[in-house]
Amino acid sequence: MLAKPAPRPMPQILPCVLVVDDDAALLSSLEFALRAEGYSVRGCTDSRTALSGAAEAPACMVIDYRLPDMDGTELAACLRRQGLDAPLILITTNPDARCRAKAAKCGAVIVEKPLLDDKLVRQIRSLTTPVAD
């Protein structure tokens, strides 16, 4: 008699990450990379789209600081007013003192571009993984 194959474990579905970046190629790359890590991803290329879908609460927000219609901290403030209190990661190149101050004021972590290693994924994990008691 043939032995039954061992049941395959169910894949773990990780939390949803909201990613907002006006660079469509970078956004597509981030969506692909985060999905490969098991996250569900809601990608937006502009603030208006991000704000229109705010009812879907993400576990983490990754927002480009330099968006065309408002900066990433302004978008985060709008999302927070709509009730989203998810951790925030700002992605940007060469953040100046003003950017760093605005990020600190809204409780954001900055991850600098270019995103060459897994620093962004590690940061998302650290912000979305529950701490054991």
Q: Is residue 51 part of a domain?
A: yes
Q: Is the pLDDT score of 19 beyond 60?
A: yes
Helix (H, G, I), strand (E, B) or coil at 46: coil
Average pLDDT of the chain is 88
Instruction: State percent of the chain over pLDDT 90.
Output: 71
- Judge contact between 47 and 78, C-beta under 8 A: yes
Q: Is residue 58 in some structural domain?
A: yes
Q: Which domain holds residue 22?
A: 14-128
Q: Is residue 5 part of a domain?
A: no
> Each residue of 27-79: pLDDT tens digit?
999 999 999 999 999 999 999 999 987 667 899 999 999 999 999 999 999 99
What pLDDT is attached to residue 83?
A: 87
CATH of residue 46's domain is: 3.40.50.2300
Give a yes or no: residue 120 inside a domain. yes
Residue 9, domain member (yes or no):
no
Determine, yes or no, domain membership for 6: no
pTM metric for this prediction: 0.86
Nearest one of 115, 108, 112 to 29, comparing CA atoms: 115
User: What domain count does the chain have?
Assistant: 1
The 10s digit of each residue's pLDDT in 107-125 is 999 999 998 889 999 999 9
The confidence score (pLDDT) of residue 26 equals 95
Cα–Cα distance between 4 and 13 in angstroms, integer? Answer: 26
